[in-house]
Amino acid sequence: MSYKAKFRVWRGEGGEGRLEDFTVEVNEGEVVLDIIHRLQATQAPDLAVRWNCKAGKCGSCSMEINGKPRLGCMTRMSTFAEDETITVTPMRTFPVIKDLVTDVSFNYTKAREIPSFTPPADVKPGEYRMQQIDVERGQEFRKCIECFMCNNVCHVIRDHEENKPAFAGPRFLMRIAELDMHPYDTVDRRDAAQDEHGLGYCNITKCCTEVCPEHIKITDNALIPMKERVADRRYDPLVWLGNKIFKR
């Protein structure tokens, strides 16, 4: 069964833009990205959208649908009423290149600022021996498809451009937490998490967890445990005393 849907799509580039209205055919089983493609094919051939896999796995098609960060390829049209106007806008936290395509290089800059996994020099690849529980703990975070919707939705940078230099965002604070949990990682990540990557800015609103298409429990399993490990280090009276004595 097909019907005509009302779409309102953000069009623009170079810092200027507007919402443009369309009426467009929808067929059974389609997702929002299908409709964007139909608009390209029939009414707006220069409409820019980034996508790749159409299977929820490449993280390219992040956009805001009725104000909520979503993957265009995983948002079924059947979740909306047929007479509803569907508004599609680019991710708000990153600069727009054109139409629905944003410049997400902020995220790659943040990724590069995190020292990579650093095993002990005397343990060779193939010699790592880990408890199953340590393997499983990290596995959840490896499901990340780097859609950057968690960074897009976090109010610390969504509403405050000025915080961007000091805040890595939930995706990369999660990466630090993952590395810090790794039994073979030798880099001390706790002070850097707080002082260089802005862990203290996170006030546990959990919006990042709510939007994650991989259902990673970013806040409960990465950010809060990392905050606890930082607090253990900084506010444990024995550690404090030890630092005082040995740093003199």
Residues making contact with ligand SF4 (CB under 6 A): 144-150, 171, 211-214, 216, 218
With beta carbons less than 8 A apart as the criterion, state whether 172 and 197 touch: yes
Whether 114 contacts 107, CB under 8 Å: no
Contact call for residue 51 and ligand FES (CB under 6 A):
yes
Alpha carbon dihedral 41, 47, 48, 51, in 10-degree steps, equals -30
Do 72 and 33 contact (CB within 8 A), yes or no?
yes
State the nearest-atom distance from the C-beta of 112 to ligand FES, in Å: 23
From 42, 78, 85, 205, residue interacting with ligand F3S (rule: CB under 6 A): 205
For ligand F3S, which residue of 35, 156, 179, 181 counts as binding (CB under 6 A)?
A: 156
Amino acid at 172: F
197-236 residues near ligand FES, rule: CB under 6 A:
none
Whichever of 8 and 217 has its CB closer to ligand SF4, that residue is: 217
88 part of the interface to ligand F3S, by CB under 6 A: no
Please say which residue, 20 or 214, places its beta carbon nearer to ligand F3S: 214
Which among ligand F3S, ligand FES, ligand SF4, none contacts residue 22 (Cβ within 5 to 8 A by kind)?
none
Query: According to DSSP H, which parts of 46-168 are helical?
Result: 105-112, 132-141, 149-153, 155-158
In 3D space, the residue among 3, 201, 186, 181 whose CA is nearest the CA of residue 84 turns out to be 3
Among 79, 89, 75, residue whose Cα is nearest residue 7 = 89
Q: Is 9 helix (H, G, I), strand (E, B) or coil?
A: strand
Residue 37 touches ligand FES, criterion: CB under 6 A: no
Choice between 104 and 176, CB closer to ligand FES: 104
The answer to whether 155 contacts ligand FES (rule: CB under 6 A) is no
Distant-in-sequence, close-in-space partners of 189: CB < 8 Å, separation ≥ 6: 115, 176, 179, 180
Q: Of 30, 40, 43, 56, which lies in the binding site for ligand FES, with binding defined by CB under 6 A?
A: 56
47 binds, among ligand FES, ligand F3S, ligand SF4, none (CB under 5 to 8 A by kind): none
- Based on the shown chain and the rule CB under 6 A, indicate whether residue 223 belongs to the binding site for ligand F3S: yes
102 is written with which tokens?
């944003």
Instruction: Name the site residues for ligand F3S (rule: CB under 6 A).
Output: 154, 156, 170, 202-208, 219, 223
